[in-house]
Structure 1
Amino acid sequence: MSISKLSVAGLLIFIGVAEFLLLMLIAEALYPGYSVSRNYISDLGVGSTAVIFNSSIIIMGLLLIIAAVLAWGLSRIFAITIALTGIGAMGVGIFPETIHPFHLIFALIAFLFASISSYPTIRISRSPGRVLWPILGTVGLIALILYILNMYLGLGPGGMERMIVYPNLIWALAFAAELMNYPSQRSKP
């Protein structure tokens, strides 16, 4: 039994997103006085939790870029948008929020392309839930616009930022699980 490139791509996306999510939650618990409503996610990238947060987002970004290369044959648009998401994520970890304007530029790239990456999945997914991936991406895009406009809807800046990030992490985990089970293309003798 051979493992397809797409299965490996799915595994890398799943590992990258899952490790980032779990380590972000750990960093939130360890950061003194941290509030998911008042604090930005990137606050975790400075101070006592910097190593945890920055390394986890850099690893996620790197794994997304490798997955994009492996998924190139499935969809070039998906591969490009996932690679840009990975580049944005790595930039967030390399340039913490104290390094302006680079941190903001990379955060915008990560937020924007994570949401946009959900759209090509509707054409390449074989799951009955494939219509949900772009809906989650759209939630992320709407939240990004509200966030930029400082309209936090009572959630605070940290809460609205999570409305950008969490829907994208959810669709990415679900789609990655599907990719891990994509049938390998067998060449005919």
Structure 2
Amino acid sequence: MNLNRTGRVGALCWVAAVPIFLVASLVTGLRWRDPAYSWAIHNISDLGNAHCGIWDTTRPRYVCSPWHPLMNAAMLATAVLLAAGLLLTWRLLGRGIVVRSAQTLLLLAAGGYALAALNPADVDENRHVLGAFLIMGVGNVGLLIAGFAPNTTVLGGWRGLTLAAGLTALAGTVLFFAQQGLGIGVGGMERVAVLPFPVWACCLGALLTETPADRPARNRSAAAT
């Protein structure tokens, strides 16, 4: 398989998505004061909350994120990069109902990042929760389905990586909604549910960028003669 220019741009979009998300999470969290931000205790959404105060009736905790605009902007950028990567590699990854179903569900998950970013939990909880459902529910099912892509497709070539990501994400989702931290905290478990998709996309994008570039038609014709 040779990678055309469109596919390479899509792969690079995927590679960029995770660093932007993780760096923003780290920097935004470091700006918290009294209490400090904890990846084990606090949700990802807490970084994007626009107001200070006690939040969440299930696990009440004080939330105050001074740099919430940075986190929400990073989440929106992540959504755009994930969606762009999917659309630009759409034909490259293969054909068939399994591949197209996976791509469609993952595209909805990318939209979930945008929905959550544009609607912080303390501003519009319903839309934010819908965004979270698209990420952790719809997207993770799509990721698992992608693991069953036929071996004849490009996507099927990385079945082990994809199945590992999908199973991890779904397990994290179930445990997160059951409020089970298993030693890493409920906040940590949310990350187990959320991060596999963008991390998988980053890994797949890196693998794709190592693929030889598609030669222009003129060069192929010259080679044939």
Q: The TM-score by the shorter chain falls in which range?
A: 0.7 to 0.9
TM-score (structure 2 length as normaliser):
0.73
SS class of match (1:96): coil
Shift of 1:162: 1.4
Match of 1:180 among 184, 205, 209: 209
1:89-108 residue pairs with structure 2 within 5 A?
Answer: 89-98=113-122, 99-108=124-133
Structure 1 unaligned blocks of 5 or more: none
Shift of 1:113: 4.0
Structure 2 unaligned blocks of 5 or more: 50-64, 95-99
State how far apart, in whole Å, the 1-side matches of 2:103 and 2:195 are: 21
1:81 equivalent in structure 2: 105
Higher helix proportion: 1
Q: Is this contact kept in 1: 2:143–2:162, CA < 8 A? A: no
Q: Is this contact kept in 1: 2:14–2:198, CA < 8 A? A: no
Match of 1:117 among 137, 143, 147: 143
TM-score (structure 1 length as normaliser):
0.86
SS class of match (1:48): coil
Residue 133 in 1 paired to residue 136 in 2? no
State how far apart, in whole Å, the 1-side matches of 2:109 and 2:176 are: 18
Match of 2:38 among 26, 35, 38: 35
Partner deviation per Cα, 1:38-57 (whole Å, 9 max, x = no partner)? 11111000231211110000
SS class of match (1:36): coil
State how far apart, in whole Å, the 2-side matches of 1:182 and 1:5 are: 13
SS class of match (1:15): helix
State how far apart, in whole Å, the 2-side matches of 1:179 and 1:78 are: 18
- Which amino acid in 2 is paired with 1:109? L
Percent sequence identity is 25
Q: How many residues align?
A: 187
2:192 equivalent in structure 1: 163
Residue 45 in 1 paired to residue 74 in 2? no
- Which amino acid in 2 is paired with 1:173? C
1:8–1:121 Cα change, 3 Å: farther
